[in-house]
């Protein structure tokens, strides 16, 4: 047994020696953890701590405006702040100052730099969406979700807290004679050029901060909308005014010049706060992880190849290799992935992340074999995916990746109750579009149509794409009519190839 273990270690060392150059990594990364956030940055420790504290203060302010209870998050939101523009550019959409995404590894916010209000505003906006999706049971209308996020994105946190200042572009638009388009935003039939964001912001500002009576009516409207009433009928019944009448009311509100804002003294963050410097190999793992999550594989391999793992006892060696195998299987480079997975399987690991990555890899390889893109024993890969998935979840029930892929593996094996249990475990940790669709698919297969309909109806705002929304609405309508007479592209499992190009 000891001889095989020694051989496995030499194999790991040899493989990584072939993969890593000698160039040193110069940036120093820090991790700062508060009650509700984990923030990583290569900015100064003081700037990083200040930003975490600002996010905690913003969170409290946003929860108050949203009317949500201040309860601990099930998973700390991970925030990446790239002080080095080159590193941010490798993984970000073009011209983005920051962005948010829900991955199968957890919720993430990525930001360029620690400074400007514009950059902070992007993440404040996205964090409001996160709170609304994670903490509320309402299916919000798009205008309200986008409008309220815009109202809150301009929050100023200095010696005092100011909520409700207009965005920079709003004043000029109003001065030029901006006309609200309430019917268009309520029916979601106007785009940005048609005034969607301006009207959504102005109406959300008015009904949340500008008029106490309208705020009470908004609660009734949201309940009606969530219950599935016609959007216009629900709006006019709750607000006791036509959409045209609300146009005039909003126009008058905008002409007041200075809109209502909330001002409160800044309360110092009094929760837990810890900071530590990351080791070089841990920083490389972090940067590579994020690159893999956003499908930036060129960047991911750049970080993998920069990793300096001279110490054979580094605790991050297996994690780096396991995560690189995920990059390879996502790129459909099965031979390269197998070259890394083989020694990891032989070596064994008690680390939930490594075990979860092995389960993830096995499931993805099962898919490659089932769809004819790779050779191998699909049944053996699926069995390994289940076995390692169970081990990963037992080692760490908060391993969202393992919960998700265990659910998919059980589903592919026809074990629907087990699949539902695993996916529900992931849903409790952090609901995300991919996980929610998989859970809905399993519920439908198990005859739980009412639960599946509820879950899907709360996903309409996951994407603003009309095709997505229409697809979700079609499934929900069919569930309510108990038809389900065809296959739905949105609910197609990954091991079913729908075209030669997939």
Q: Determine the Cα–Cα distance for residues 243 and 62; give it in Å rounded to an integer.
A: 28
Which stretches does DSSP call E strand in 355-481? none
DSSP line for 249-273? HHHHHHTTSS---EEEEPPPP-S-E
The dihedral through the CA atoms of 71, 76, 82, 88 has a sign that is negative
pTM above 0.95, yes or no: no
Q: What pLDDT shows up at residue 115? A: 60
Per the prediction, the chain carries an average pLDDT of 87
Secondary structure element (H or E) that encloses residue 160, with its range: strand 160-163
Q: What pLDDT shows up at residue 308? A: 59
Written as six digits, the tokens of 239 are 């607000």
Q: Determine the Cα–Cα distance for residues 5 and 371; give it in Å rounded to an integer.
A: 35
What percent helix, strand, coil does the chain show, rounded to 5?
Answer: 60, 10, 30
Q: What pLDDT shows up at residue 117? A: 66
Q: What pLDDT shows up at residue 487? A: 77
* Alpha carbon distance, N-terminus to C-terminus of the chain: 43
Secondary structure element (H or E) that encloses residue 33, with its range: strand 30-34
HSE on the CB side for 361, CA within 13 Å?
A: 28
Written as six digits, the tokens of 265 are 């003294």
Beta-strand relationship, 156-157 and 98-103: unpaired
Q: Determine the Cα–Cα distance for residues 493 and 444; give it in Å rounded to an integer.
A: 13
Show me where the domains of the chain are located.
Answer: 166-260, 431-493
Written as six digits, the tokens of 284 are 């490389």
Written as six digits, the tokens of 207 are 């009904």
Neighbours of 250 (CB within 10 A): 22
Q: How far is CA 51 from the centre of its chain?
A: 20
Per-residue confidence of the chain (502 residues) as pLDDT tens digits?
Answer: 333 333 443 444 434 444 443 344 456 999 999 999 999 999 988 888 998 999 999 999 999 888 888 888 877 889 999 988 889 999 998 777 778 888 889 889 998 876 666 667 888 888 898 888 878 778 889 899 999 999 999 999 988 999 999 988 888 888 788 888 999 999 988 888 888 999 999 999 999 999 999 999 999 999 999 888 999 999 999 999 999 999 999 999 998 877 888 899 998 899 999 999 998 889 999 999 999 999 999 999 999 988 755 455 678 889 999 999 999 999 999 999 999 999 999 998 899 999 999 999 999 999 999 999 999 999 999 999 999 999 999 999 999 999 999 999 999 999 999 999 999 999 999 888 899 999 999 999 999 998 998 888 878 766 666 678 788 888 988 888 777 767 788 889 999 865 434 4
Opening angle at CA 156, ends 140 and 431, nearest 5: 35
Written as six digits, the tokens of 22 are 């000698």
- 131-148 burial string, b = 16+ CB within 10 Å, else e? bbbbeeeebbbbbbbbbb
Contacting residues for 308 by C-beta, under 8 A, at least 6 apart: 20, 22, 24, 25, 280, 281, 284
Q: Determine the Cα–Cα distance for residues 163 and 154; give it in Å rounded to an integer.
A: 7
Q: Determine the Cα–Cα distance for residues 234 and 342; give it in Å rounded to an integer.
A: 59
- Let me know: does 389 contact 356? Beta carbons within 8 Å: yes
- Let me know: does 40 contact 30? Beta carbons within 8 Å: yes
Secondary structure element (H or E) that encloses residue 275, with its range: strand 273-277
Q: How far is CA 103 from the centre of its chain?
A: 5
Secondary structure element (H or E) that encloses residue 345, with its range: helix 334-347
């Amino acid at each position: 047994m000891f001889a095989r273990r020694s051989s496995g270690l030499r194999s790991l060392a040899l493989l990584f020696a072939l993969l890593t150059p000698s160039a040193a990594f110069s940036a120093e990364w820090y991790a700062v953890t508060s009650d509700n956030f984990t923030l990583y940055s290569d900015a100064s420790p003081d700037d990083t701590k200040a930003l975490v504290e600002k996010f905690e203060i913003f969170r409290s302010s946003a929860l108050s405006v949203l009317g949500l209870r201040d309860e601990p998050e099930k998973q700390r939101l991970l925030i990446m702040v790239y002080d080095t523009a080159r590193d941010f550019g490798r993984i970000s959409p073009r011209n983005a100052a920051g962005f948010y995404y829900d991955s199968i590894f957890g919720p993430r916010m990525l930001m360029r730099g620690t400074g400007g209000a514009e950059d902070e505003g992007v993440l404040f906006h996205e964090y409001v969406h996160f709170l609304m999706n994670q903490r509320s049971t309402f299916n919000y209308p798009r205008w309200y979700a986008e409008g309220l996020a815009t109202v809150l994105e301009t929050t100023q946190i200095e010696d005092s807290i100011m909520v409700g200042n207009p965005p920079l572009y709003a004043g000029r638009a109003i001065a030029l004679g901006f006309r609200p388009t309430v019917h268009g935003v309520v029916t979601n039939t106007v785009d940005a050029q048609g005034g969607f964001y301006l009207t959504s912001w102005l109406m959300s500002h008015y009904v949340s901060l500008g008029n106490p009576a309208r705020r009470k009516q908004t609660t009734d409207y949201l309940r009606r909308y969530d219950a599935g009433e016609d959007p216009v009928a629900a709006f006019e019944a709750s607000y006791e005014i036509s959409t045209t009448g609300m146009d005039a009311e909003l126009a008058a509100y905008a002409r007041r010049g200075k809109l209502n804002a909330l001002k409160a003294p800044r309360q110092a963050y009094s929760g837990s706060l810890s900071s530590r410097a990351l080791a070089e190999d841990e920083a490389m793992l972090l940067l590579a992880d994020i690159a893999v999550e956003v499908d930036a594989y060129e960047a991911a391999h750049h970080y993998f190849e920069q990793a300096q793992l001279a110490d054979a006892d580094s605790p991050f060696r297996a994690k780096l290799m396991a995560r690189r195998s995920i990059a390879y299987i996502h790129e459909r480079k099965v031979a390269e992935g197998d070259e890394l997975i083989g020694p990891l399987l032989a070596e064994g690991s008690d680390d939930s992340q490594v075990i979860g990555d092995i389960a993830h890899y096995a499931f993805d390889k099962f898919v490659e074999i089932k769809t004819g893109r790779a050779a191998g024993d699909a049944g053996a890969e699926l069995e390994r995916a289940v076995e390692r998935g169970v081990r990963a979840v037992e080692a760490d029930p908060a391993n969202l990746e393992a919960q998700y892929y265990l659910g998919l593996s059980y589903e592919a094996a026809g074990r629907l109750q087990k699949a539902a249990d695993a996916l529900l475990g992931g849903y409790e940790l952090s609901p995300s579009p991919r996980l929610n669709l998989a859970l809905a698919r399993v519920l439908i297969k198990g005859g739980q149509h009412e639960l599946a309909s509820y879950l899907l109806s709360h996903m309409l705002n996951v994407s603003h794409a009309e095709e997505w929304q229409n697809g979700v609405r079609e499934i929900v309508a069919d569930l309510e009519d108990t038809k389900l007479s065809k296959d739905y592209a949105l609910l197609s499992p990954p091991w079913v190839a729908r075209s030669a190009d997939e």
